[in-house]
C-alpha cells in the first residue's frame, strides 16, 4: 500500500514495478497507442494480486476486441476487489457493467464515481469520446452532455494531455472549432503522439473545411503510428475522406485498401464496418464507381460481426452495406426489428437505404425525413453523420429539389456547402 498511480490514486499493490507497468499502460491506453494490454499483463505478472492491473488489462483487451480474454481478466479483478479500497471496488464494478452489456447502468455508475474520484482516469474515460457511454446513450442532448461532462472534469486534471484532448473533442462536436483547436494544440504540445489528440485535431480541421492542411497533417502523423493501434483504421478513414474531397481518387482507394476495409484494418469491428460503409457510399455520392464486390464483402463482414442489432451506429452502416449488396433478407431484419439505443431511428434509415438501392427517391425521402432532426441519437461524430447529411441532399437532388438541397447544406452543414462532395449537384 502507499503506492499511487500517475493520476495520484492509491493503488493496492506494494510492487513499484507493477505500478510502473500500470502507469505506462494507462498512458498508452489513453493515448490510443498500441501496447497497453502488454503493459498491464506485465503489471499483473509482477503482482498477480493487483486487482486494478487485471481490470485495466480487461479494458485494454476490450479495445482489441478480445472479449473472452477481457472477461477472464475482469473476473480475476472482481475476485481480488474485496481486498482493495472503495475506489478500486467501484472502478471494477463499473467496468463489469460495461462488459456485461449494461451500458445505461455503466454510464450511471461512471457519472457517480467521478463525483468522488474525478481523477480515476480509466473510469472517467468510459464516458468520454464519441464512442463512449455518453456518445452512445441514444439521447438527443448527448453532445451537450459530453461537453458538460468534460467541462466539469477538466479543472481536476491540471496540465494533463489526455483530459485536454477529451475536452477539445467535446468542444469540436458542439461547434466550438477555434476553442477546440487551441486546446488541442496545447494537448499535442504535451504529448504529440496522443492519437486522441491528432484525431480530433483532424476533426477540427474538417469542421473548418481545411482539407489541404488537414490532409498534410494527418498523413504525416499517421505514418509514424503503429498500424495495430486502435485508431489506425479510423484515422486512415479520415485520410481517405480528405483524399475524396480533394478529388484524389487513387489516394482514397490506397487509404481504404491499406487501413480501412475488412482484411486491411486491424481495428475494432465497429470502425471497420462504419468507416468502410461510409467511405464507399460517400465515394458513390461523389460520382466514383464502387465495385459491387466491395459491398458484398462488407455485407458479409457486417453479418458476421453484427449478427444481432443493438449497436445503432453500427446497425445503420450494416443496413447500408446490405442494401448496396442486394442482401434483402439481411436488410429486412434490421429495417423491421432493429433494437438498441436508437433502434427506432435505425429502422427508417435502413428502409431508406433499401429505397435508395431501388432508386425509389420519394420513398427514401419519406423515411429519411423522419430522422434528420434527431441524427445525433444514432451516435458518431459530426463528420461521420455527414454520411446522412449528404445522402439526404442527394435524395433531394434526385427528386429535382435543388434549392432545398442547397438550403439543407447551408443551414445544417455550411462547411460542406461551398464545394459539396455530391456529383448530382448541377
Q: Three-state SS for 10?
A: strand
Which of the stretches 255-263, 282-290, 378-386, 418-426 binds Fe ion when contact is defined by CB under 5 A?
Answer: 378-386
- The one segment of 64-72, 111-119, 265-273, 374-382 that binds Fe ion by CB under 5 A: 374-382
CB 346 within 8 A of CB 315: yes
Please state the closest distance from residue 127 (CB atom) to Fe ion, in A. Answer: 18
Cell of 177: 472549432
Which residue of the chain is nearest Fe ion when measured via CB?
381
Beta-strand ranges (E) seen in 188-311 are: none
Largest CA distance in the chain: 71
Give the end-to-end CA distance of the chain in Å, rounded to a whole number: 70
Nearest approach in angstroms of CB 117 to Fe ion is: 29
CB of 118 to Fe ion, least distance (A): 26
Q: Which stretch binds Fe ion (CB under 5 A): 23-31, 110-118, 250-258, 379-387?
A: 379-387
CB 344 to Fe ion: min, Å: 25
Quick one: 25 or 132, whose CB is closer to Fe ion?
132
Measured from the CB atom, is 55 or 235 closer to Fe ion? 235
Burial (Cβ within 10 Å: 0-12, 13-18, ≥19) of residue 262: middle
The dihedral built from the CA positions of residue 230, 349, 411 and 397, taken in this order, carries a sign that is positive
Q: Are 172 and 146 in contact (CB under 8 A)?
A: no
Contacts of 386 by beta carbon, 8 Å cutoff, 6+ apart = 282, 413, 416
Burial letters for 6-37: b for 16+ Cβ neighbours within 10 Å, e otherwise? bbebebbbebeebbbbbbbbbbbbbbbbbbbb
Q: What is the footprint of Fe ion within residues 123-162 (CB under 5 A)?
A: none
In the complex, minimum distance from the CB of residue 384 to Fe ion, in angstroms, rounded to a whole number: 6
Nearer to Fe ion, 118 or 267 (CB): 267
Q: How many residues bind Fe ion (CB under 5 A)?
A: 1
HSE of 31, CA atoms in CB hemisphere, 13 A:
21
Show contacts with Fe ion in window 380-409 (CB under 5 A).
381
> Which residue, 44 or 383, has its beta carbon nearer to Fe ion?
383
Q: Which residue's CB is nearer to Fe ion, number 19 or number 238? A: 238
The piece of 5-13, 74-82, 314-322, 373-381 that touches Fe ion (CB under 5 A) is 373-381
Minimum CB separation from Fe ion for residue 66, in Å?
A: 23
Taking the C-alpha atoms of residue 397 and residue 393, their distance in angstroms, rounded to an integer, is 6
- The interface region with Fe ion, picked from 185-193, 297-305, 359-367, 376-384 by CB under 5 A, is 376-384
Name the residue nearer to Fe ion (CB basis): 309 or 381: 381
Closest distance to Fe ion from the beta carbon of 227 (Å) = 17
**How far is residue 331's CA from residue 295's CA, in Å, rounded to a whole number?**
13
Task: List CB contacts of 288: < 8 A, sequence separation 6 or more.
Answer: 244, 249, 252
Minimum distance of Fe ion from residue 190's CB (angstroms): 21
Instruction: Please say whether the beta carbons of 422 and 399 come within 8 A.
Output: no
Q: Which is nearer to Fe ion, 271 or 299 (CB)?
A: 271
Sign of CA dihedral 228, 234, 235, 236: positive
CB closer to Fe ion, 196 vs 381: 381
List residues binding Fe ion (CB under 5 A): 381
Amino acid at each position: 500500500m502507499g503506492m499511487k498511480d500517475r493520476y495520484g490514486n492509491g493503488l493496492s499493490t506494494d510492487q513499484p514495478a507493477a505500478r510502473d507497468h500500470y502507469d505506462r499502460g494507462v498512458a498508452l491506453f489513453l493515448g490510443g497507442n498500441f501496447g497497453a494490454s502488454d503493459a498491464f499483463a506485465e503489471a499483473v505478472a509482477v503482482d498477480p494480486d493487483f486487482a486494478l492491473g487485471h481490470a485495466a488489462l480487461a479494458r485494454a483487451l476490450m479495445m482489441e476486441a478480445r472479449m473472452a480474454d477481457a472477461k477472464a481478466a475482469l473476473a480475476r479483478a472482481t475476485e481480488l476487489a474485496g481486498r482493495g479500497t472503495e475506489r478500486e471496488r467501484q472502478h471494477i464494478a463499473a467496468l463489469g457493467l460495461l462488459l456485461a452489456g449494461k451500458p445505461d447502468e455503466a454510464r450511471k455508475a461512471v457519472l457517480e464515481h467521478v463525483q468522488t474520484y474525478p481523477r480515476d482516469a480509466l473510469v472517467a474515460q468510459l464516458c468520454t469520446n464519441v464512442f463512449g457511454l455518453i456518445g452512445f446513450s441514444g439521447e438527443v442532448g448527448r453532445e451537450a452532455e459530453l461537453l458538460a461532462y468534460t467541462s466539469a472534469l477538466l479543472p481536476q486534471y491540471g496540465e494533463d494531455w489526455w483530459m485536454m484532448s477529451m475536452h477539445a473533442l467535446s468542444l469540436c462536436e458542439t461547434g466550438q472549432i477555434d476553442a477546440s483547436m487551441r486546446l488541442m494544440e496545447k494537448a499535442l504540445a504535451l504529448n504529440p503522439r496522443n492519437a486522441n489528440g491528432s484525431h480530433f485535431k483532424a476533426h477540427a480541421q474538417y469542421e473548418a473545411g481545411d482539407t489541404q492542411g488537414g490532409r498534410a497533417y494527418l498523413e504525416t502523423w499517421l505514418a509514424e503510428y503503429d498500424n495495430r493501434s486502435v485508431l489506425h483504421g479510423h484515422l486512415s478513414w479520415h485520410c481517405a475522406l480528405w483524399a475524396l474531397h480533394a478529388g484524389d481518387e487513387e489516394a482514397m482507394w490506397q487509404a481504404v485498401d491499406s487501413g480501412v476495409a475488412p482484411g486491411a484494418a486491424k481495428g475494432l469491428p465497429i470502425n471497420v464496418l462504419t468507416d468502410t460503409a461510409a467511405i464507399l457510399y460517400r465515394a458513390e455520392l461523389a460520382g466514383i464507381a464502387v465495385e459491387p464486390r466491395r459491398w458484398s464483402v462488407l455485407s458479409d463482414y457486417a453479418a458476421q460481426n453484427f449478427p444481432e442489432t443493438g449497436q445503432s451506429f453500427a446497425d445503420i452502416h450494416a443496413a447500408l452495406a446490405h442494401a448496396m449488396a442486394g442482401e434483402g433478407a439481411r436488410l429486412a431484419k434490421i429495417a423491421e426489428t432493429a433494437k438498441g439505443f436508437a433502434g427506432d431511428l435505425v429502422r427508417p434509415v435502413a428502409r431508406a437505404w433499401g429505397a435508395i438501392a431501388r432508386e425509389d427517391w420519394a420513398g427514401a425521402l419519406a423515411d429519411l425525413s423522419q430522422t434528420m432532426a434527431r441524427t445525433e441519437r444514432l451516435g458518431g461524430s459530426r463528420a461521420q453523420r455527414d454520411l446522412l447529411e449528404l445522402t439526404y441532399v442527394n435524395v433531394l437532388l434526385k427528386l429535382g429539389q435543388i434549392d432545398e438541397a442547397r438550403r439543407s447544406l447551408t443551414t445544417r452543414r455550411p462547411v460542406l456547402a461551398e464545394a459539396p462532395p455530391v456529383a448530382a449537384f448541377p
